């Protein structure tokens, strides 16, 4: 008769990991489109280049680990890492910067910990932090100027030759980011003067505001699809907004709130990077705390640190704290008066 | 009728709560709830497991080969938590043997096999026309008699639920008509077709428990059943609460929370918060048992799944083999498929179909690949938290999964692993298709095994420690005994030594016998003396040797002290040892020599008791005084004995004369000797006294003595007078006694008189002081 012996339950819901991963990638597209529109081909190229590197690295490592390749590639997690890195890295970053970042992320930050699900640190952010610290010049001088401010926009071949060759870019293609600019300028100027600079567009950040808005849209769709929980993005944004409102209210002293929110990697980070489920806290309350921590740390490093956009470091620091947050934010189980907190376990009776 | 219409009918204004989580799987109810309940035919054989419930297996009370009637009790409840088992139809008991049963483990259990005879003949039933007249106890008894267990799937003995703990204050009775699990529709059809019986049963239970509130919790996907219930509960205060369809709202704890807003506290039962839940099928069975006396012999089971052609609900006799049942309803087994007993969320797969339907078989599900596809291979957990969102017990399934995999069972228990109701909601939502419930079941099993092992090892340790203690006690006792014995022996030895030394010095009377032997031996065997002498000389030699060795040791020690300091301790110890040896040999020699000396000295003395006694006595002044009194007593005794014998002689018969004469003579001698002794002793005493004492002034002594002596004389005189008087008046048998007494006292008087005169003479001689003479 050949009756199978299986354990209950015998039916499954529709959710699948690979489906969730693909949705995440898909929802970054609006943001990518905006980046291409405002900043050129650089980001698109980087996304493609990082994807290739990621998949190749993953295949290499899986072969070394003697795992079935198709099964593991099909969960799309490597692709998510690659896409996020491609979006976060500077558009004109040399090819070897992207290579190092992606390969390190996949091989070291993901597979050497055991593969998807076992890594404690966000792989994309590990790669980013590595290249940010190792190649500071490449990472700080390759940000693109908004295209609308240029007389001559870099063509695709020019972009490629910049990234792949050592061809020098015409002056003006690269420039400081709005966050960077504001932080340095406000030290000796007034807000009104700083904001008059063309890079700030209509008072927030030319180009960057659209990119962040697009990422916000993608993130909201993910929220509606219940692919990401709302606690993490809300926590990140709150963590960024609260100190900004309390401490940075004076635009003449510190970067204004809207620039914080709509410039740099804020929305990308809040909805796509911080929500990486594997490396964030698992309890609902824990996620809120996790997000708040990221937002807070980002603000601190942005304002008081030496990096213009320190999202990567904030995420990595909170990754450290995630297990502890889980332990202290257990929910109250049915039938109990209070939730159990802490690590104290009773001896098995 | 739509759900909305059904909800409108219901007038219940009860505010419903909600439980955390829950999922919405495909209901698939329409596969089996379209047709009425059909009655399954009589199978060729019925297999009745003795355990179809929680608690102890029932005890068989019939024999193989016995003819039984329908409803006849076949096995009795064994203890409080147990139920009866009845014959589903009339027939013959084929066997009582092991048979495969419906259990996830696939193991077999003891079953009764019954071959129906086709007659379907009922036994006599105890029906009650008016159930309202029955007391709570009578109803409980009937329910217990009928062998009713919870038919929702757990199989808890129902009569126990009808007797809640005394401290529990039951006020709410909930009928669990939720039937939240997909595919299962048995309660739905039962409510549609037999709502009256269900409500009647509910009323019976309510009267037994004396509840004030009666609620029926039913999901909104059963509008027809809701309508039927509404009709059945028109004239009662039973509230029908329509709850949103969500899995697992049919779980007891979840339903209680929805309907009452209260949570069953951890480790407690619903009765502790005043609630009792009952399943629809159970309540209908209660009605039939109480009203008609029918025991539980059949149940409604859903046959569903696309592998079964004639899907629907069947009223099937307990013990019906599932393979026969499925063949009756068009089961077409596909390759590599599952046959599930229960629903798709909590049912277990069957490995064979030759197993019987039991009291808890609510559904048999035979799905094909399209409707319930097999789960894809599990991927890694991405910690998405969807499982925690779905968990009705508000656990953290992903943490439990990590701990179960990592075998960190303490942490798993800390995260409330045992509060998991194994509903399967977490596995249902898991995007990585991880079989989470399997991990939890495994972890629970491991923890239980660890607890059992811990208990065993604790017991073993207690026993081991007790044994160690016992052995130690025995050792201690032995040691104590040994010590006591040694001490006693030492004491005895010391006492013996002391006694021996005393013998030699003081009491040489003991040596008399020895002395006689010794003389004998000496006369007969000269070598004995020689041996004695040899032994003595040997001992002396030994002593001399030991002494010389000791001297040598001392010299060596001195030399060592100067030259070899490390040898000093060793040599000094040797010196001590030799010293001891010298002492021992010396003592031995002394003892031996003393012994022989005493022996030889006694050998010289002539073997007459009196003489040796006298000698020994004469050698010691200390013994004189006591001996004097003793001698006097001896003399008196001898004297009186003589007198008696003389008397006897005087009155003797002729044949006794000779004997008595001899006795008289002997005693005369004895008296004489005693007297002599006495006199000698007295003389000696006076001599020693005289010698010992210097010439003291006599006056004070005499002054005291004379009146005392006078007094003594007067006393003696008066006594004599008394005795003479008595003699004169005496009876014949007392005569001789009194005569003797008289004579004795006469002597005494005389003696006292003499003493007095002597004392007076002395006094007069020594001094010129006149002495008051009180006269005689």
A chain contacts of residue B25, beta-carbon cutoff 8 Å: 11, 13
> Chain B within 8 Å of A120 (Cβ-Cβ)?
no
B243, β-bridge pairs = B219
Report the distance separating Cα A271 and Cα A278, nearest Å: 14
B690 pLDDT higher than 70: no
Which pLDDT band, with edges at 50, 70 and 90, does B3 fall under? Answer: low
| Sheet order of strands, B108-116 included | B46-49, B108-116, B91-100, B67-68
Which pLDDT band, with edges at 50, 70 and 90, does B616 fall under? Answer: very low
Task: Choose between A185 and B225: higher pLDDT.
Answer: B225
Report the distance separating Cα B229 and Cα B218, nearest Å: 10
B411 pLDDT higher than 70: yes
Report the distance separating Cα A101 and Cα B207, nearest Å: 75
- Long-range (24+ apart) CB contacts under 8 A made by A341-345 are A344/B414, A345/B410, A345/B411, A345/B413, A345/B414
Q: What is the average per-residue pLDDT within A195-223? A: 91
B730 pLDDT higher than 80: no
B611 pLDDT higher than 60: no
Which pLDDT band, with edges at 50, 70 and 90, does B437 fall under? Answer: very high
Could you report the per-residue pLDDT of A117-126, keeping only the tens digit for each?
A: 999 999 999 9
| Cβ atoms < 10 Å from Cβ of B740 | 17
B758 pLDDT higher than 60: yes
Q: Identify the weakest region by mean pLDDT among A88-102, B223-237, B602-616.
A: B602-616
Of B384, B398, B424, the CB nearest to A9: B424
B552 pLDDT higher than 80: yes
Report the distance separating Cα B354 and Cα B164, nearest Å: 38
Position B574 scores a pLDDT of: 78
Q: Where are the alpha helices (DSSP H) in A104-262?
A: 123-134, 136-140, 156-164, 178-185, 191-195, 208-224, 231-247, 257-262
Chain B closest-CA separation from residue A264 CA (Å): 27
B421 pLDDT higher than 70: yes
> Chain B within 8 Å of A278 (Cβ-Cβ)?
yes
**Phi, psi dihedrals of residue B624, rounded to the nearest 5°:** -65, -50
B567 pLDDT higher than 80: no
Of B347, B429, B451, the CB nearest to A8: B347
> Chain A within 8 Å of B246 (Cβ-Cβ)?
no
Residue recorded with tokens 């205060």: B237
Which residues in chain B (169-228) have CB-CB distances under 8 A to chain A? Answer: 182
Q: What is the average per-residue pLDDT within A173-182? A: 84
Position B317 scores a pLDDT of: 96
- Return the percentage of chain A with pLDDT > 90, whole number: 66
B232 pLDDT higher than 90: yes
Position B606 scores a pLDDT of: 43
Q: What is the CA radius of gyration of chain A?
A: 22
> Chain B within 8 Å of A68 (Cβ-Cβ)?
no
**Phi, psi dihedrals of residue A236, rounded to the nearest 5°:** -60, -50
A chain contacts of residue B335, beta-carbon cutoff 8 Å: 2
> Chain B within 8 Å of A338 (Cβ-Cβ)?
no
A chain contacts of residue B352, beta-carbon cutoff 8 Å: 1, 3
Q: Which residues of B180-217 are buried (b: 16+ CB within 10 A; e: fewer)?
A: bbbbbbbbbbbbbbbbebbbbbbbbbbebbebebbbbb
Size of interface A-B (CB pairs under 8 A): 182
Q: What is the average per-residue pLDDT within B451-467? A: 96
Position B769 scores a pLDDT of: 45
Of A5, A283, A349, the CB nearest to B396: A283
Task: Choose between A292 and A6: higher pLDDT.
Answer: A292
Q: Provide the whole-model pTM.
A: 0.72
- Return the percentage of chain A with pLDDT > 70, whole number: 97
Report the distance separating Cα B353 and Cα B343, nearest Å: 17
Residue recorded with tokens 């017990």: B393
Is the Cβ pair A10, B367 closer than 8 Å? Answer: yes
Q: Report chain B's mean pLDDT, rounded to a whole number.
A: 84
Which residues in chain B (476-505) have CB-CB distances under 8 A to chain A? Answer: none
Which pLDDT band, with edges at 50, 70 and 90, does B534 fall under? Answer: low
> Chain A within 8 Å of B385 (Cβ-Cβ)?
yes
B260: left (phi over 0), alpha (psi -120 to 50) or beta: alpha
Could you give the C-alpha distances from B30 to B34, B390, B720, in angstroms and in order? 6, 25, 142
Dihedral (CA of B242, B246, B249, B251) sign: positive
Could you report the per-residue pLDDT of A234-274, keeping only the tens digit for each?
A: 999 999 999 999 998 888 888 888 888 998 889 999 999 99
Which pLDDT band, with edges at 50, 70 and 90, does B455 fall under? Answer: very high
**Nearby residues of B218 by Cβ (< 8 Å), 6 or more positions away:** B177, B178, B191, B225, B226, B229, B240, B241, B242, B243
ipTM of the complex: 0.91
Which pLDDT band, with edges at 50, 70 and 90, does B771 fall under? Answer: very low
For the purposes of burial, counting CB atoms within 10 Å of the CB of B461, is it exposed (0-12), middle (13-18) or buried (19 or more)? exposed
B chain contacts of residue A334, beta-carbon cutoff 8 Å: 19-20, 253, 257, 263, 392-394, 419
B chain contacts of residue A71, beta-carbon cutoff 8 Å: 377
Which pair of tokens denotes residue B515? 């002395």
B chain contacts of residue A17, beta-carbon cutoff 8 Å: 379, 382, 384, 431-432
Which pair of tokens denotes residue B208? 């037994």
Position B620 scores a pLDDT of: 46
> Chain A within 8 Å of B457 (Cβ-Cβ)?
no
Report the distance separating Cα B668 and Cα B676, nearest Å: 12
Q: What is the average per-residue pLDDT within B19-40? A: 94
B chain contacts of residue A282, beta-carbon cutoff 8 Å: 383, 385, 388, 396, 398-399
Which pair of tokens denotes residue A106? 């996949």
Q: What is the average per-residue pLDDT within B121-146? A: 92
Which pLDDT band, with edges at 50, 70 and 90, does B668 fall under? Answer: confident
């Amino acid at each position: 008769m050949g009756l199978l012996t299986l354990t209950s339950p015998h039916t499954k819901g529709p959710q699948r990991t690979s489906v969730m991963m693909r949705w995440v990638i898909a929802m970054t597209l609006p943001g990518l489109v905006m980046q291409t529109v405002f900043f050129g081909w650089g980001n698109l190229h980087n996304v493609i280049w990082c994807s290739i590197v990621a998949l190749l690295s993953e295949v290499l490592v899986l072969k070394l680990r003697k795992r079935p390749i198709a099964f593991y590639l099909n969960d799309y997690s490597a692709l998510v890492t690659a896409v996020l890195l491609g979006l976060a890295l500077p558009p004109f970053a040399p090819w070897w910067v992207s290579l190092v970042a992606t390969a390190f992320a996949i091989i070291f930050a993901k597979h050497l910990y055991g593969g998807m699900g076992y890594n404690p640190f966000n792989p994309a952010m590990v790669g980013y932090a590595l290249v940010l610290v190792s190649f500071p010049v490449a990472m700080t001088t390759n940000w693109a100027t908004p295209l609308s401010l240029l007389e001559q926009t870099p063509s695709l071949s020019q972009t490629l030759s910049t990234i792949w060759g050592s061809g020098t870019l015409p002056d003006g293609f690269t420039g400081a980011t709005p966050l960077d600019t504001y932080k340095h300028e406000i030290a000796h100027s007034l807000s009104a003067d700083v904001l008059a600079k063309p890079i700030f567009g209509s008072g927030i950040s030319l180009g960057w505001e659209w990119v962040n808005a697009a990422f916000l849209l993608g993130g909201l769709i993910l929220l509606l699809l219940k692919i990401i929980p709302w606690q993490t993005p809300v926590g990140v944004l709150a963590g960024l907004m609260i100190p900004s409102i309390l401490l940075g209210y004076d635009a003449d002293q510190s970067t204004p709130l809207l620039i914080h929110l709509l410039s740099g990697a804020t929305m990308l980070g809040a909805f796509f990077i911080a929500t990486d489920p594997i490396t964030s806290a698992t309890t609902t309350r824990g996620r809120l705390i996790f997000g708040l921590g990221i937002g807070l740390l980002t603000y601190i490093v942005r304002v008081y640190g030496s990096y213009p956009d320190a999202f990567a470091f904030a995420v990595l620091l909170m990754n450290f704290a995630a297990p502890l947050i889980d332990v202290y934010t257990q929910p109250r189980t049915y039938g109990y008066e209070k939730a159990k907190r802490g690590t104290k376990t009773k001896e098995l009776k | 009728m739509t759900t909305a219409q059904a909800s409108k009918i219901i007038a219940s204004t009860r505010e419903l709560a909600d439980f955390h989580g829950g999922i919405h799987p495909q209901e698939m109810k329409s596969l089996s709830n379209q047709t009425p309940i059909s009655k399954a035919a009589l199978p060729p054989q019925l297999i009745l497991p003795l355990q179809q419930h929680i608690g102890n297996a029932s005890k068989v009370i019939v024999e193989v080969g016995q003819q039984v009637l329908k409803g006849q009790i076949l096995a009795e409840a064994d203890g409080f938590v147990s139920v009866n088992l009845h014959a589903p139809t009339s027939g013959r008991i084929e066997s009582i043997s092991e048979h495969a049963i419906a259990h996830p483990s696939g193991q077999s259990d003891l079953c009764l096999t019954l071959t129906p005879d086709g007659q379907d003949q009922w036994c006599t039933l105890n029906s009650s026309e008016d159930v309202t007249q029955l007391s709570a106890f009578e109803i409980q008894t009937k329910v217990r008699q009928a062998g009713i267990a919870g038919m929702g799937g757990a199989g808890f003995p129902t009569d126990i639920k009808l007797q809640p703990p005394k401290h529990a204050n039951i006020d709410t009775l909930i009928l669990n008509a939720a039937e939240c699990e997909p595919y299962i529709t048995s309660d739905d059809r039962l409510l549609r077709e037999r709502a009256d019986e269900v409500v009647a049963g509910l009323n019976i239970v309510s009267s037994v428990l004396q509840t004030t509130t009666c609620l029926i919790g039913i999901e909104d996907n059963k509008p027809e059943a809701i309508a039927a219930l509404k009709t059945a509960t028109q004239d009662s205060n039973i509230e029908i609460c329509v709850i949103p369809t969500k899995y697992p709202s049919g779980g007891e704890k979840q339903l209680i929370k929805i309907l009452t807003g209260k949570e069953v506290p951890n480790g407690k039962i619903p009765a502790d918060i005043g609630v009792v839940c009952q399943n629809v099928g159970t309540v209908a069975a209660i009605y039939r048992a109480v009203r008609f006396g029918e025991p539980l012999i059949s149940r409604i089971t859903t046959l569903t799944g696309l592998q079964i052609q004639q899907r629907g609900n069947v009223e099937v006799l307990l013990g019906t083999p599932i393979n026969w049942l499925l063949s009756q309803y068009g089961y077409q087994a596909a390759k590599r498929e599952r046959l599930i007993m229960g629903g798709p969320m909590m049912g277990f797969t069957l490995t064979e179909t030759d197993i019987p339907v039991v009291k808890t078989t609510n559904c048999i599900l035979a799905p094909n690949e399209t409707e319930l596809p097999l789960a894809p291979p599990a991927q890694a957990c991405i910690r998405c938290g969807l499982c925690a969102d779905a968990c009705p017990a508000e656990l953290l399934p992903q943490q439990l999964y990590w701990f179960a995999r990592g075998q960190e069972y303490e942490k798993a228990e800390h995260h409330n692993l045992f509060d998991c109701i194994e509903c399967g909601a977490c596995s249902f939502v898991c995007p990585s298709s991880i079989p989470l419930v399997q991990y939890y079941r495994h972890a629970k099993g491991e923890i239980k095994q660890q607890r059992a092992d811990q208990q065993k090892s604790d017991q073993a340790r207690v026993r081991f420690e007790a044994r160690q203690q016992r052995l130690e006690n025995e050792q201690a006792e032995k040691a104590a005994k040994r010590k006591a014995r040694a001490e006693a022996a030492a004491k005895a030895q010391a006492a013996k030594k002391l006694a021996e030394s005393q013998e030699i010095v003081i009491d040489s009377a003991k040596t008399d016998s020895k002395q006689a032997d010794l003389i004998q031996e000496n006369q007969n065997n000269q070598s004995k003396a020689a041996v004695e002498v040899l032994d003595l000389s040997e001992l002396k030699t030994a002593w001399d040797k030991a002494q010389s060795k000791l001297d040598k040791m001392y010299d060596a020690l001195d030399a060592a002290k100067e030259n070899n300091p490390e040898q000093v301790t060793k040599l000094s110890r040797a010196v001590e040892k030799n010293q001891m040896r010298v002492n021992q040999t010396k003592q031995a020699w002394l003892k031996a020599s003393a012994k022989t000396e005493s022996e030889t000295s006694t050998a010289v003395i002539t073997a007459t008791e009196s003489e040796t006694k006298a000698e020994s006595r004469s050698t010691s002044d200390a013994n004189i005084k006591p001996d004097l009194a003793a001698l006097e007593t001896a003399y008196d005794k001898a004297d009186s004995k003589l007198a008696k014998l003389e008397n006897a002689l005087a009155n003797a018969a002729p044949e006794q004369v000779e004997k008595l004469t001899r006795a008289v003579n002997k005693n005369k001698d004895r008296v004489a000797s005693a007297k002599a002794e006495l006199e000698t002793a007295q003389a000696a005493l006076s001599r020693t006294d005289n010698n010992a004492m210097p010439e003291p002034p006599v006056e004070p002594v005499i002054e005291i003595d004379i009146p005392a002596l006078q007094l003594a004389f007067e006393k003696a005189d008066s006594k004599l007078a008394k005795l003479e008087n008595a003699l004169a008046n005496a009876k014949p048998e007392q005569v001789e006694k009194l005569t003797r007494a008289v004579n004795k006292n006469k002597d005494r008087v005389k003696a006292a008189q003499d003493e007095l005169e002597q004392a007076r003479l002395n006094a007069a001689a020594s001094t010129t002081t006149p002495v008051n003479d009180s006269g005689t």
